[in-house]
């Protein structure tokens, strides 16, 4: 490679780095009844700016000590809730897409926080997503009649160090769908309460172990329900649902490794 080409490539590299560094952090600050994401007066950028704008495709949207409601289509670099204090994000018929490369999003980081998806709402998180981090409890994801997709790993309490008890919980209600590349249940409970979970890359023995340990439960762990796991032959994805059972698995019970996997090819 000649000197001119080397200088040109270096210049492009510095330009790209400068572009990434230009990302801003926006705090949602509305203390009153107006929880609207699209109201620019509800946002404050940590950098000095003369204009009031919404967080954009390279920016971090921070939700601490407030609740925000999304009713339209929203795209940001990444979303972090529950970093500097409790936060609530309600995706109420709207859609949220995070596009920031190499940047995680979270339902809770080091404070109690919750994301609720309802009324046909949807969320797509590119890169990995955390419901809690380290040993901080009270992180929740509630999916009603809506969809959450993660193009990466869905973590329950990333970097968790046992044995501290965790109240972290993801609940998939009727009409809800959680679809992820990889599932990591380090702590807490994944409750399939009438909805569906799709894992694109999974191991049957790991899924069965989580079911046996009570980390994946059906209908809140109610008697008469069990987790059914089916491998879709067309996609090779693992599909998890709740089904009636006379002898459901419960917390603390163990069973042989592929006990929760059904013989059916599709559901």
- Each residue's pLDDT tens digit, 5-16: 332 333 333 334
Give the whole-number percent of the chain exceeding pLDDT 90: 63
| Mean pLDDT across 83-99 | 95
Per-residue model confidence (pLDDT) at position 266: 35
Would you place residue 102 in the very low, low, confident or very high pLDDT band (cuts 50, 70, 90)?
confident
pTM of the model: 0.84
Mean pLDDT across the chain: 83
| Mean pLDDT across 207-216 | 93
Residue 175 has pLDDT above 80, yes or no: yes
Dihedral sign (CA 66, 67, 71, 74): positive
List Cα–Cα distances, 232 to 132, 183, 252, 264, 266, in angstroms.
Answer: 30, 17, 29, 9, 5
What does the pLDDT look like over 240-264, one tens digit per residue?
Answer: 999 998 644 433 333 333 345 554 4
Per-residue model confidence (pLDDT) at position 14: 31
Burial of 135 (0-12, 13-18, 19+ CB in 10 A): middle
| Mean pLDDT across 47-67 | 86
Residue 189 has pLDDT above 90, yes or no: yes
Among candidates 238, 254, 160, 144, which has minimal Cα distance to 199? 238
Q: Torsion angle of alpha carbons 125, 128, 131, 136, nearest 10°?
A: -140
Among candidates 207, 249, 243, 212, which has minimal Cα distance to 228? 243
Per-residue model confidence (pLDDT) at position 2: 45
List Cα–Cα distances, 105 to 20, 27, 127, 133, in angstroms.
Answer: 17, 15, 8, 11
Per-residue model confidence (pLDDT) at position 218: 97
Q: Where are the domains of the chain?
A: 24-201
Per-residue model confidence (pLDDT) at position 135: 72
| Mean pLDDT across 153-170 | 83
Give the whole-number percent of the chain exceeding pLDDT 70: 80
Higher-pLDDT residue of 17, 48: 48
Cα 224 → chain centroid: 29
Per-residue model confidence (pLDDT) at position 4: 39
Would you place residue 49 in the very low, low, confident or very high pLDDT band (cuts 50, 70, 90)?
low
| Mean pLDDT across 51-65 | 91
Per-residue model confidence (pLDDT) at position 265: 38
| Mean pLDDT across 57-73 | 95
Per-residue model confidence (pLDDT) at position 54: 93
What does the pLDDT look like over 120-156, one tens digit per residue?
Answer: 999 999 999 999 887 777 899 999 999 999 999 999 9
């Amino acid at each position: 490679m000649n000197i001119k080409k080397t200088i040109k490539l270096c210049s492009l590299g510095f330009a790209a780095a400068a572009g990434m560094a230009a990302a801003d952090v926006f705090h949602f600050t509305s203390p009153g009844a107006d929880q609207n994401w699209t109201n620019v007066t509800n946002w404050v950028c940590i950098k000095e700016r003369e204009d009031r704008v919404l967080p954009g495709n390279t920016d971090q949207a921070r939700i601490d000590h407030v609740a925000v409601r999304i009713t339209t289509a929203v795209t940001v670099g990444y979303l972090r809730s529950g970093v500097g204090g409790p936060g609530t994000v309600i995706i109420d018929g709207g859609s949220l897409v995070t596009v920031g490369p190499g940047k995680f999003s979270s339902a809770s980081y080091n404070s109690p926080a919750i994301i609720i998806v309802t009324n046909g709402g949807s969320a797509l998180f590119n890169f990995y997503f955390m419901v809690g981090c380290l040993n901080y409890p009270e992180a929740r994801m509630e999916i009603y009649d809506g969809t959450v997709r993660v193009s990466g790993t869905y973590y329950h309490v990333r970097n968790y160090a046992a044995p501290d008890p965790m109240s972290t919980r993801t609940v998939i209600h009727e009409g809800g769908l959680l679809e992820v590349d990889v599932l990591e249940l380090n702590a807490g409970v994944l409750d399939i309460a009438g909805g569906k979970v799709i894992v694109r890359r999974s191991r049957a023995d790991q899924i069965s172990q989580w079911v046996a340990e009570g980390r994946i439960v059906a209908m809140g762990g109610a008697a008469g329900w069990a987790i059914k796991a089916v491998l879709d032959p067309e996609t090779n994805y693992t599909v998890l649902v709740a089904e009636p059972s006379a002898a459901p698995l419960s917390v603390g019970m163990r069973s042989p490794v592929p006990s929760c996997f059904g013989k059916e090819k599709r559901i």
